[in-house]
Structure 1
Amino acid sequence: MSNERSVVDLRVGRIARKDVVSVTSDTTVSEVAQTMTDENVGDVVVTDDDEIVGIVTDRDLSMRLLTDEYGTNVLSGESGVDLTAGDVMSEDPLTIESQARVPRLLHHMNQASVRRVPVVDDGKVVGIITFDDLVVHLAGESAHVAAQLESLADVVHAESPASN
């Protein structure tokens, strides 16, 4: 079995999405939501001067705009027109280097309770990895391992004294 497919040695950069959608902190929440809809993504990375300052997820939008916890509840009479990505973003998001291994990423995602992680090299965003991406990849990895085991089982069965 090829070591290249091993999830233990797999580098984050190999499975990260390269098409990162970003906005600036002064982008209105309406524009953020429209961008997420247009790009069919559940998050946008917030950058100012090419530096990551935050991330806005679909959950951030709903939780921060529809609850009183953050003082931005548009249901309580505020229009929300003046709110920006900077008002609703999660600041200082977890990031990971593209050369980091997947188990390290999983550990950090679990510790931070996040589902989306920008991938960086030299402080610049080079991709994004989501929990969904990981599930799809690991499912493929599992199918590959299962196929290899089935093939080996066929060999073992064929060479077993009980089958002769």
Structure 2
Amino acid sequence: MATERTDLGMTARRLARRDVVSVTPDTPITKTAQIMRDRTVGSVLVTENDELVGVVTDRDIAVEVVADDGSSSLTHEDTDIEMLTAQDVMTPNPQSVDADAKIQRVLRAMNDAHVRRIPIVDDHQVVGVIAFDDLVLHLAGECTHVSAQLDSLAEIVHAESPPD
């Protein structure tokens, strides 16, 4: 039976997706939405001089730009959607997690910020993004590993137990 510990001590850097989709604050919101569609992502990071300044999610676009009965100041009749930028819609100064943080810290930060995706940073530079789905898959793998360890232990106990 293997006695190695599971990957619960894994860092955010190791789990993060490195293919980060980002735009600048002045990227038109229509272009931002097209990038999200083309790259099949639910959010983009807004960066300026390689530093994280905001996040735009598909929900931000739906609520702030498309919904015409919301409280948004962006959805007035005289607003030209072509003039809106990522900066107009983004969540500024989003929660992020240090690249060396453990997975438990990532989960806590996502829960505290009520988000499903969180930027991973190293010295204020974005190094990746972790989605809630990434965490679920990782933890499911951990559960499978622990289950296999318990099955192996049960076999040993059964083999060494006296007969009934």
Asked if these proteins are the same fold (TM beyond 0.5), I'd say yes
User: Is residue 152 from structure 1 mapped to residue 130 from structure 2 by the alignment?
Assistant: no
Equivalent residue number for residue 46 of structure 2: 46
- Aligned equivalents of 1:161 and 1:62: distance in 2? 66
- Aligned equivalents of 1:82 and 1:65: distance in 2? 11
Q: Secondary structure at the match of 1:100?
A: coil
Equivalent residue number for residue 66 of structure 2: 66
- Check the 8 A contact 1:66/1:72 in 2, yes or no: no
Q: Secondary structure at the match of 1:81?
A: helix
Equivalent residue number for residue 105 of structure 1: 106
Query: Structure 1 residue 40: deviation in Å?
Result: 1.2
Query: Structure 1 residue 79: deviation in Å?
Result: 4.3
Query: Structure 1 residue 80: deviation in Å?
Result: 1.4
Query: Structure 1 residue 77: deviation in Å?
Result: 6.8
Q: Which amino acid aligns with 2:75?
A: N
Percentage of matched positions with identical amino acids: 48
- What TM-score do the two structures reach when normalised by structure 2? 0.90
Question: What CA deviation, in whole Å up to 9, does each residue of 1:29-61 have, x standing for no partner?
Answer: 111111111111111100111111101111111
Query: Structure 1 residue 91: deviation in Å?
Result: 0.6
- Aligned equivalents of 2:23 and 2:46: distance in 1? 5
Which runs of structure 2 are paired with 1:24-35 in the superposition (5 Å)?
A: 24-35=24-35
- Check the 8 A contact 1:23/1:47 in 2, yes or no: yes
Q: Secondary structure at the match of 2:83?
A: coil
Q: Which amino acid aligns with 1:42?
A: G
Equivalent residue number for residue 127 of structure 2: 126
- What TM-score do the two structures reach when normalised by structure 1? 0.90
Query: Structure 1 residue 162: deviation in Å?
Result: 3.7
Equivalent residue number for residue 94 of structure 2: 93
Equivalent residue number for residue 13 of structure 1: 13
Q: Which amino acid aligns with 2:10?
A: L
Q: Which amino acid aligns with 1:81?
A: E
- Aligned equivalents of 2:33 and 2:102: distance in 1? 32
- Aligned equivalents of 1:118 and 1:156: distance in 2? 45
- Aligned equivalents of 2:62 and 2:158: distance in 1? 55
Q: Structure 1: any 5+ residue segments left out of the alignment?
A: none
Q: Secondary structure at the match of 1:161?
A: coil
Q: Which amino acid aligns with 2:74?
A: T
Q: Which amino acid aligns with 2:105?
A: R
Q: Secondary structure at the match of 2:27?
A: coil
Q: Which amino acid aligns with 1:103?
A: Q
- Check the 8 A contact 1:21/1:45 in 2, yes or no: yes
Q: Secondary structure at the match of 1:114?
A: coil
Question: What CA deviation, in whole Å up to 9, does each residue of 1:92-126 have, x standing for no partner?
Answer: 01111110011111111111111111111111111
Q: Which amino acid aligns with 1:91?
A: P
